[in-house]
Amino acid sequence: MAVLGVLSVTLEVPDIEPGIRFYTDAGLLAEVDGSVARLRCDGQDRPSITLLGGHRRKRLHHVTLRAEALDAIAAQVPGHGGQVVPAPEGFSGEGLNGGLSGGLSGGLWVRDPHGMLFHLIERAPDPELAPAAAAFAINEPGRVVRTRRSAILPGKAYPPARPLRLGHVLLFSPDVPKSVEFVTGALGMGLADRSQDIIAFTCARKDSDHHVIAFAKSPGIGFHHASFQVADPDEVGRGGRALLRKAGRGDWGFGRHTIGSNFFHYIQDPWGSWFEYYSDIDYIDDYALWTPTNYDLEDSLASWGPDVPQDFVHNYEVAEQDAFAGA
Residues in contact with Fe ion by CB under 5 A are: 227, 276
Minimum separation from the CB atom of position 225 to Fe ion (A): 6
User: Of 8 and 227, which CB lies nearer to Fe ion in the complex structure?
Assistant: 227
Q: What are phi and psi of 209, to 5 degrees?
A: -55, 160
Letter for the amino acid at 12? E
Provide the Cα torsion 187, 193, 197, 199; round to 10°. Answer: -90
Residue nearest to Fe ion (CB): 227
User: Of 112 and 276, which CB lies nearer to Fe ion in the complex structure?
Assistant: 276
Q: Residue 18 in 3-state DSSP?
A: helix
What are the helix and strand counts (H, E) for the chain?
A: 5, 18
Minimum separation from the CB atom of position 226 to Fe ion (A): 8
User: Of 202 and 227, which CB lies nearer to Fe ion in the complex structure?
Assistant: 227
Minimum separation from the CB atom of position 236 to Fe ion (A): 11
User: Of 235 and 276, which CB lies nearer to Fe ion in the complex structure?
Assistant: 276
Minimum separation from the CB atom of position 155 to Fe ion (A): 26
User: Of 91 and 215, which CB lies nearer to Fe ion in the complex structure?
Assistant: 215
Minimum separation from the CB atom of position 270 to Fe ion (A): 19
Minimum separation from the CB atom of position 27 to Fe ion (A): 17
Minimum separation from the CB atom of position 264 to Fe ion (A): 6
- Tell me how far apart the alpha carbons of residues 126 and 166 are, in angstroms, rounded to a whole number: 11
- Tell me how far apart the alpha carbons of residues 120 and 114 are, in angstroms, rounded to a whole number: 17
Check: CB of residue 120 under 8 Å from CB of residue 67: yes
Cβ neighbours of residue 66 under 8 Å, at least 6 residues apart? 3, 4, 5, 6, 7, 120, 121, 122, 123, 125
- Tell me how far apart the alpha carbons of residues 49 and 29 are, in angstroms, rounded to a whole number: 10
- Tell me how far apart the alpha carbons of residues 248 and 276 are, in angstroms, rounded to a whole number: 15
Letter for the amino acid at 104? L
Other Cβ atoms less than 10 A from the Cβ of 32: the count is 14
Minimum separation from the CB atom of position 116 to Fe ion (A): 18
User: Of 251 and 276, which CB lies nearer to Fe ion in the complex structure?
Assistant: 276
Letter for the amino acid at 232? D
Other Cβ atoms less than 10 A from the Cβ of 38: the count is 26
User: Of 48 and 76, which CB lies nearer to Fe ion in the complex structure?
Assistant: 48
User: Of 195 and 227, which CB lies nearer to Fe ion in the complex structure?
Assistant: 227
Check: CB of residue 83 under 8 Å from CB of residue 184: no
